[in-house]
Homo-oligomer: A and B are copies of this chain.
Amino acid sequence: MTMQQVAAEAGVSVSTVSKVLNGRYGVSPATSQHVMGVITRLGYEASLVARSLRNRRTNVIGVLVADFEPFSTEVLKGAADAIRDSGFELVAYSAGGRVDEHVGWERRYLSRVMGTLVDGAVLVTPTVTDVQYDGPVVAVDPHTGRSSLPTVAGDNLQGARLGVDHLIGLGHTRIGMVTGRPDLVSAQLRERGFREAHAAAGLDVDESLLALGAFETEQARVAAHRLLALPEPPTAVFAANDLSALAVLEVARERGLDVPGDLSVIGFDNVPESALSDPPLTTVEQPIRRMGHDAVALLLGLLDGAPVADTQLTLPTTLVTRRSTAAPRPA
């Protein structure tokens, strides 16, 4: 169904149809009425693509994600909250998880959709630092290195302190960590928080107790196995995100360990899924939805001509105590 066909059906030219569709002046009420009728009858709707190619503004905001998983979909919910009644539409774009092909998927996505399909974009956990796109772009949980982009993130350092302090407060002294994606500031700060918490408590960090989980289930499982197979395994594990923590829980169960009896596990993010596990996961909450909301709000501001100031929003984190942590079994 093209505008051509509508025009033919209505017995007018395409430009007339276009004018009617966009409420432009210069069409007689009669013609307008008639064309409108044909449009409705045929259920015609202008192709987003053709329109995008021609117009500068599309009134569509893009959310670019590596994959649809608990974190990115929470961001999406927040983005939806912010977009409602703004007159904008939302497109979420994912390469289907095939991101390892090249790092820098976000730059590729960006050039594919910016300027045509979308007016602006929010990048969720981008992998590269040099995404200095000229258009309006906001990053959520950004890559390490100073990107020139406005960013929104949780307070990862304080959050990690919260989590590890909780473990230490419970009496744990031998604490493992499944670390996150090394290229993200969030992961780095969480590890730093882990170390600072130890230092503050006068504890040494045993480097063999750190294992790379990379924010990925499989990788985290491998890391957990390594940690738990140690001659002197940790009595508690701080996972850099909930996905990893859930993987640790799984591995612990496979190895016949009781959580929290034999092993305490704490995550980071508080994605909704974290409450579904058995036992429910103690975790550090990060206001993900709000991060998505604020990112879009920021973007909408940018689109509205706000200066691309060096905005770096940091949202507070809190401890959510559920049942995967407890005092260590006395020796």
Contact = CB atoms under 8 A, between A and B. Distances in A.
A80 B69 CA distance: 8
Contact of A90 (B79, B94, B276, B280): B94
Given A48-B116, A68-B77, A275-B280, A94 B98 contact: no
A91 B90 contact: no
Contacts of A109: 45
Contacts of A1: 111
Give the number of copies in the complex.
2
Interface residues of A, number: 51
Contacts of A24: none
A68 B72 CA distance: 12
Interface stretch (A49-57, A218-226, A261-269): A49-57
Interface string A65-86: 0011110010011011001111
A116 B275 contact: no
A49 B93 CA distance: 13
Contacts of A91: 91-94
Interface in A136-176: none
A83 B188 CA distance: 31
A43 interface: yes
B96 A86 contact: yes
Nearest to A74: B73
Given A91-B91, A111-B1, A50 B48 contact: no
A222 to B, nearest CB: 19
Contacts of A47: 111-113, 115-116
Contacts of A111: 1, 43-45, 47
A89 interface: yes
Contacts of A108: 43, 45
A248 to B, nearest CB: 19
A73 B77 contact: yes
Contacts of A87: 96
A97 interface: yes
Given A46-B112, A112-B47, A272 B96 contact: no
In the complex, the 9 A-B pairs of residues with the closest C-beta atoms, listed nearest first: A272-B272, A275-B275, A68-B80, A49-B116, A45-B111, A73-B73, A92-B92, A48-B112, A83-B96
25 contacts: A43-B107, A44-B111, A45-B108, A45-B112, A46-B112, A47-B111, A48-B112, A48-B116, A49-B113, A67-B80, A67-B84, A68-B76, A68-B80, A73-B77, A80-B97, A83-B94, A85-B97, A88-B96, A89-B93, A89-B95, A90-B93, A91-B92, A92-B94, A117-B117, A271-B272
Interface of A: 1, 43-50, 52-53, 67-70, 73, 76-77, 79-80, 83-98, 107-109, 111-113, 115-117, 271-273, 275-276, 280
